[in-house]
Amino acid sequence: MNKAVGCLVVAAAMLWPAGGARAGSGGGGSGAHWSYEGAEGPANWGSLGYPLCASGKNQSPIDIGGNAAATDLDEIQFKYAPAPIQVKNNGHTIQFDYPPGSFITVGAQRFELVQFHFHTPSENTIQGKSYPMEVHLVHKNAEGGLAVVGVMMQTGQVEAAHGGHGAEGGGLETIFGALPAAANLTLTSERAIDAGRLLPHDTGYYHWMGSLTTPPCSEGVRWFLMKEPITIAPAQLTRFQTIFANNARPVQPLNSRNLFIKARSGGGAGAGH
């Protein structure tokens, strides 16, 4: 293992609670009085000061059924660059903040990558199937509009392209080796991570208009869920689940929304990262 990666793994391990797994409480910031279970769980978010979580008609996550319309949507152009690690446990998830300069373009729209974070199990489902984990790459345009790229994560043998054990280039082992277990703790390192390693080869996607999946459940969010999952090592999943055993909101009704599917991308996810 690379020495720098090893130091991050050791540092993260030292921060894990001795008591083992504990329930997390989502991606909406530390100190928020909501959770993923019990009286402060998702069914009660609407009565905890976040009314849109209960009354909204365009909520996320959703189940991707068989009703997605095949449409000639724009390809997502990914332009991600490696960045120094700045990661925090906000009490609800593990969030990696990203500096300016990495972005996606969809048609004429450019969205800067702001942060990415994880949910276990996956929040969105495909024909009722959930995955062990889902990563949300959160982007913002110049007007403040949000676009979230979701990627499903399954367990297995990690390919070198995504940076498995001992691989260089800010891959998965580096990302999952830097998971602060204590709430409200931020870790920084000059060791680089590459958000592009979280993308599948095929960048075909499902698209709908939705919301944040955590309070305040704000709507008007453009969602792009990659059709192809990526693979993480079982030990990497375990590292996260040791900190957050469950931090996924249940799927919400599609209601009258349109759901679209973009066929396989010709360029793949390799360009720009």
Our measurement of the distance from residue 252's CA atom to the centroid of its chain's CA atoms, rounded to an integer in Å, reads 18
pLDDT tens string 75-123: 999 999 999 999 999 999 999 999 999 999 999 999 999 999 999 999 9
Domains of the chain: 3-262 (3.10.200.10)
Quick one: tokens of 201? 């080869």
Q: Tokens 């189940």 belong to which residue? A: 63
Whether residue 12 has pLDDT greater than 80: no
**Spatial separation of the C-alpha atoms in residues 173 and 163, rounded to whole Å:** 6
How high is the pLDDT of residue 46?
96
How high is the pLDDT of residue 121?
98
Question: How much helix, strand and coil, in percent to the nearest 5, is found in the chain?
Answer: 20, 30, 50
pLDDT band at 5 (very low <50, low <70, confident <90, very high): very low
| 233: number of Cβ within 10 Å | 17
How high is the pLDDT of residue 15?
33
pLDDT tens string 198-230: 999 999 999 999 999 999 999 999 999 999 999
pLDDT tens string 155-209: 998 876 665 433 344 699 999 999 999 999 999 999 999 999 999 999 999 999 9
How high is the pLDDT of residue 263?
76
Q: What is the DSSP string of 119-185?
A: ESS-SSEETTB--SEEEEEEEE-TTS-EEEEEEEEEESPPPGGG--TT-SSS-HHHHHT----STTE
Cite the active site residues: 92
pLDDT, the chain, mean: 85
| 105: number of Cβ within 10 Å | 15
Task: Of 131, 112, 100, give the one whose Cα is nearest residue 251.
Answer: 131
pLDDT tens string 149-158: 999 999 998 8
How high is the pLDDT of residue 180?
96
CB 119 within 8 A of CB 248: yes
Quick one: tokens of 187? 């870790």
User: Which of 21-35, 90-104, 132-146, 154-168 is the least confident region?
Assistant: 21-35
Classify residue 6 as left (phi > 0), alpha (psi -120 to 50) or beta. alpha
Beta-bridge partners for 135:
118, 151
How high is the pLDDT of residue 163?
57
Quick one: tokens of 5? 């990666």
Q: What is the DSSP string of 46-72?
A: GGTT-THHHH-SS-S--EE-TTPEE--
* 256 backbone dihedrals φ, ψ, rounded to 5°: -95, 15
- Residue 11: which H helix or E strand, with range? helix 3-15
How high is the pLDDT of residue 33?
86
CB 172 within 8 A of CB 164: yes
Q: Which residue has the higher pLDDT, 14 or 27?
A: 27
